[in-house]
Chain A
Amino acid sequence: MNQTEYISIAALNQYAYCPHRCWRMFCAGEFTDNQYTIEGTTLHDRVHTTSDVQRGETWQVRAIWLKSEQYKLIGKSDLIEAEDGQIYPVEYKRGRKGEWDNDELQVCAQALCLEEMTGQPVNTGYIYYAHSHQRQLVEINAELRQSAIATIESVTNLLETGAMPKPVYSKRCQGCSLYSQCLPKATDKVKSYQEVN
């Protein structure tokens, strides 16, 4: 039995957005299926069920599993492309470019997996924002790599201990789908609350 626990690449994105949300989704299991628990499904099997196409100069493959043994990462890519032998990940996002850098982090994690899987360096990636139909270049530079690796460590630690990061209210709470479960303002509200007699 292989007991290795992999971290879902999506968890990194959530953690960068809000550690408490990441805890709720990946530790407390609120509103996540087990789509991430894909241990034992080897990438190899998957690749053969996924179609790849050649579009002009660009080779494209959609929806394949990405995995890294070094970082214990696993996840699904939206799109992997190769041009002139250079391979890079493309991550799809529904909305506009967010204010947070969590999407870049996710692309970087995908790049780390790709590097391990192909044995060649991956120095760029893209985020495709469906709302604006635009691709945004993500440079997989040393700084981003470091921050991705640091996040991987934090998430590993979170999943191992289950210790709940306290919810902290900020602008990004607006539009969070777990707001009513989390009630980030409760701590302050309860502090200042005076019960009537």
Chain B
Amino acid sequence: MGTLYVTQTDAFIGKVDERLTVKAEQKTIMDIPLIKIEGIVVLGRATISPAVVNELLERHICLTFLTQNGRYLGRLEPEATKNIFVRKAQWQAVGESEPAIHLVRGFVRGKLKNYRHSLLRTQREHPDTDLNNNITRLENAIAPIEKTSSIDSLRGLEGAGSAAYFGCFQQLIKTPEFKFEARKRRPPTDPVNALLSFGYSLLRHDVQSALNIVGFDPYLGYLHVERYGRPSLALDLMEEFRPLIVDAVVLSLINKRSLTLTDFTTEPLSGAVSLTKEGLHTFLRTYQQKKLSSFKHPVMGNKCTYQESFEIQARLLSKYLMNEIDKYPPLVLK
């Protein structure tokens, strides 16, 4: 099961014995054993019974609130794990320390390498697309990473690599009705950006939960430090997963025409684009399927799902900070 997404406006989330029930308009729309739930994401408004709140906190199940359009509002945070050793190591590495630089290199390298593989794959599967220029620009951003020791310069490489990737993202879209010019956020004003933003919101919930489970403080990061009150470490660890999960899901939905322009609505004045209810369900279903699909973990060598890989990467991160392993290996998949 994994994460439960509640999309029905004004749904009521209650508890019967050891089961969670979601009711809307007098009807029970979901009835799931609590034991199967790892996280709950509420989109829009829902009523949550006090018994459920207690149960979620007891069981360390995270409850995240997003707006109807997937903008992050906040979460119900269970007590942090007692593993203060992880948090101590995390705090000790703050700033321009050796481990912080190593980790930022890993986060940036992981993301850019996955971007590159994504472009190479498109090029292989569609010989008519020419992405060589952007692939070269990406490689030029990847090459200096290991020799770069300033975190600000690493942020620059990350920015250059991302620009190269999104500069040709339109060419990864094989459905003429969907156009992509550049990343636009807060609010996204076109369907592709709306999907990306929404997907990254969900991914953030998942990565942040994994960090919590391992014992980290998700608000203290190394690459993202510019703003307090943002889950910086979750944003850091998310980087390598963005292309692997969210971009892959978005492109697959568009290119297989599982989503069409009729699945989107545009707000007047602001031009903010969001998914319709049906579109939302399609997106969530596909995102969930992606998370539960498995692959061979390149470091550990065993099969795991993407959902499990969030926690594996978080554990490797803690092992690096606690000197159990001498490098942090970001998840890079060919």
Query: Hey, which bits of chain A sit against chain B, CB under 8 A?
Result: 27-30, 162, 164, 166-167, 180-181, 183, 185-187, 189-191, 193, 195-197
Docked-complex contact B324 and A186, CB < 8 angstroms? yes
Tell me, yes or no, whether B37 is within 8 Å of chain A by CB. no
Tell me which residues across on chain B come within 8 A of A196, comparing CB atoms: 113, 298, 332, 334
B325 and A187: CB pair below 8 A?
yes
Query: Which of B80-88, B91-99, B163-171 is the interface stretch?
Result: B80-88
Residue of A whose beta carbon sits closest to that of B308: A180
CB pair A190 B326 closer than 8 Å: yes
Q: Do B85 and A197 touch across chains, with their CB atoms under 8 A apart?
A: no
Q: Which 4 A-B pairs rank lowest in CB-CB distance, beginning with the nearest?
A: A29-B82, A28-B83, A190-B325, A193-B299
A183 to B326, CA, bound (A): 15
Majority SS of interface residues in chain A?
Answer: loop
Q: List 12 A-B contacts (CB under 8 A).
A: A27-B85, A28-B82, A183-B300, A189-B300, A189-B301, A190-B319, A190-B329, A191-B325, A193-B329, A195-B298, A195-B330, A196-B332
B residues adjacent to A (C-beta < 8 A): 81-86, 109, 113, 215, 298-301, 311-312, 315-316, 319, 322, 324-327, 329-330, 332, 334
Contact partner of A183 (CB less than 8 A), chosen from B81, B315, B322, B332, is: B315
Q: Is the CB of B322 within 8 A of A190?
A: no
B113's partner among A166, A183, A191, A197 (CB-CB below 8 A) is A197
User: Does the CB pair A166–B332 fall under 8 Å?
Assistant: no
Q: A28-B83, A30-B81 are in contact. Are A185 and B322 (CB under 8 A)?
A: no
CA–CA, A167 and B322, complex, Å: 12
Most buried by A among B84, B324, B330: B324
Given the known inter-chain contacts A193-B298, A195-B332, A196-B113, please indicate yes or no for A186 contacting B325, CB distance below 8 A: yes
Docked complex Cα distance between A191 and B332 (Å): 16
Whether the pair A162, B329 counts as a contact (CB closer than 8 A) is no
Whether A162 contacts B300 by the Cβ 8 Å rule is: no
B contact patch SS? loop
Q: Is the CB of A28 within 8 A of B319?
A: no
Give Cα A167–Cα B323 distance, bound, in whole angstroms: 12
State how many angstroms separate the Cβ of A184 from the closest Cβ of chain B. Answer: 10
Distance from A51 Cβ to chain B, minimum over Cβ atoms (Å) = 31
- Output the nearest chain A residue to B116 by Cβ-Cβ distance: A197
Question: Which residues of B lie under 8 Å from residue A186 when comparing CB positions?
Answer: 299-300, 315-316, 319, 324-325
Say which residue of B83, B322, B330 sits within 8 Å of A30 (CB atoms).
B83
In contact, B301 and A166 (Cβ under 8 angstroms): no
A29's closest neighbor in chain B, by CB? B82
**Which partner residue on chain B sits nearest A166 by CB separation?**
B324
The answer, among B82, B300, B329, for a CB contact under 8 Å with A185, is B300
Residues on A with C-beta less than 8 A from B329 are 190, 193, 195
- Contact in complex: B83, A29 (CB < 8 Å): yes
Report the minimal beta-carbon distance from A178 to chain B, rounded to whole angstroms.
12
Q: Is the CB of A164 within 8 A of B332?
A: no
Instruction: Quote the shortest CB–CB distance from A169 to chain B (angstroms).
Output: 12
From residue A54, how far is it (CB to closest CB) to chain B in Å? 41
Q: Is the CB of B324 within 8 A of A162?
A: no
Give which listed residue, B86, B324, B332, contacts A167 with CB less than 8 A: B324
Task: Find chain B residues with CB under 8 A from A191 CB.
Answer: 325-326
Residue of B nearest to A197 (CB): B113
> B215 touching A28 by the CB < 8 A rule?
yes
Docked complex Cα distance between A51 and B329 (Å):
57
The residue that B319 contacts in the complex, of A180, A183, A193, with Cβ under 8 A, is: A183
**Min C-beta distance of B52 to chain A, whole Å:** 22
Other A-B contacts than A181-B315, A190-B326, A196-B113, 11 sampled, CB-CB below 8 A, are A27-B85, A30-B83, A164-B85, A180-B311, A183-B319, A186-B315, A186-B316, A190-B299, A190-B327, A191-B326, A196-B334
